[in-house]
Amino acid sequence: MIKSMTGFASGECSTDQGELFWELRSVNHRYFEAQFKLPDGFRAIETELRDLAASKLRRGKLDASLQFRPAMAAGASLEINEPLALELIEKAERLAQRIDDPEEFSALDIMRWPGVVNESTIDTSDLFDPARKLLDQTLDALCEARAREGARIHSLLEERIAQIGVLAEQVRARMPEVLAALRQRINERAQALEVRVDAERLEQELVLLAQKLDVAEELDRLDAHVEEIRAAFAMDDVVGRRLDFLMQELNREANTLGSKSADAETTKAAVDLKVLIEQLREQIQNVE
């Protein structure tokens, strides 16, 4: 079953030090690319987390965000460097006396100065393993979401592939009628011109013209490509690029069919084929 590259999943767990929360979003991309947004204390395991994501996702752009909410008992405390804060206040007031219209400053402005506030941090090393396990579970949920979206895409693709098969059969069934109408049209023109036409020469020209207009080979290749697409659906592998290549082949046959068209119905069928192929291509851009 094919999988989509788009999906969303989230997961959370509680520890003695606080709560961990993963949020994963993935969209279509030519290759696999992962962007991790981690709290400062977790950057040491970013490479491991990337490898874990790459082991489960083959294509798509992944945005992974980890949030950590410390428990009240484990929360960080703030320590004020009062000597530095008082020195800043004194110098700020001294400078303010030399300015015609000084701006007012608050205690929060002083606290924003580097070194005034010392925040005691939490040792997050004990949280590395829970964060990895939670990511593993959340990635599984993301894969399930992508599989569900892939099933929906599969249904849409099958519907359009069936329509392509119907159009191909309609063109194939009409070809004898098209050639017969062409023969009649040429005979009528010859009679209208009141010229004597060599029957054997006329037959030779009709045969050559029929060969130029013959689309049996294009229709056979069209059927073969459709079978290849259905075979790709059954593969337990990444098939997005394979399907994209097959779309190019389908489009090439539709173009040739249009260039060989000898009547309005065949031209319309070629246009309808190109529309269906473009709809297929749009959906396949999301297939892993």
**Do 274 and 209 have their domain in common?**
yes
Domain identity same for 111 and 130: no
Weakest-pLDDT range from 101-105, 143-147, 284-288:
101-105
The pLDDT of residue 194 is 60
Write down the pLDDT at residue 105: 73
User: Whole-angstrom Cα distance, residue 110 to residue 114?
Assistant: 9
Say yes or no to pLDDT of 49 above 80.
yes
If one compares 54 and 172, the residue with the highest pLDDT of the two is: 54
- So what's the pLDDT on residue 199? 64
Let me know whether 180 and 255 are in one domain: yes
Q: Assign 197 a pLDDT band (cuts: 50, 70, 90).
A: low
Residues 241 and 267 in one domain: yes
Task: Render pLDDT for 66-101 as a digit per residue (tens, 0 to 9).
Answer: 999 887 655 456 677 888 888 888 888 888 877 777
Q: Is the pLDDT score of 279 beyond 70?
A: yes
Residues 165 and 262 in one domain: yes
**Within a domain: 111:** yes
- Tokens for 272? 């309808």
Spatial contact of 267 and 261, defined as CB atoms under 8 Å apart:
yes
pLDDT band at residue 266 using 50, 70 and 90 as cut-offs: confident
Is 180 a member of any domain? yes
Q: CA quadruple 144, 145, 146, 148: dihedral positive or negative?
A: positive
| Per-residue model confidence (pLDDT) at position 158 | 94
| Contact between 53 and 95 (Cβ < 8 Å) | no
Q: What angle do CA 127, 129, 135 make, to 5 degrees?
A: 100
Residues 37 and 99 in one domain: no
Q: How many CB atoms sit inside 10 A of residue 268's CB?
A: 15
- DSSP-derived pairing of the beta strands 32-37 and 60-70: parallel
Residues 86 and 154 in one domain: no
Question: Is the domain of 32 the same as that of 104?
Answer: no
Q: What is the pLDDT of residue 187?
A: 66
Tell me: do 157 and 127 sit in the same domain.
no
What pTM was computed for the model?
A: 0.71
Q: Are residues 172 and 243 in the same domain?
A: yes
Buried residues in 199-212 as b, exposed as e (16+ CB within 10 A): eeeeeeeeeeeeee
**For residues 229 and 161, is the Cβ–Cβ distance under 8 A?**
yes
Q: For residues 142 and 11, state if they share a domain.
A: yes
**Does the residue 165 lie in any domain?**
yes
**Helix intervals (H) in 121-197:** 128-192
Summary mean pLDDT of the chain: 84
Three-state SS for 117?
strand
DSSP bridge pairs for 117: 80
Query: Is residue 206 one of the residues assigned to a domain?
Result: yes
**147 contacts 1 by C-beta, under 8 angstroms:** yes
Structural domain including 88 reads 78-119
Q: Are residues 131 and 187 in the same domain?
A: no
Is residue 1 in a domain? no
pLDDT at residue 264 in the model: 78
Summarised one tens digit per residue, pLDDT across range 122-179 is 678 889 999 999 999 999 999 999 999 999 999 999 999 999 999 988 888 877 776 7
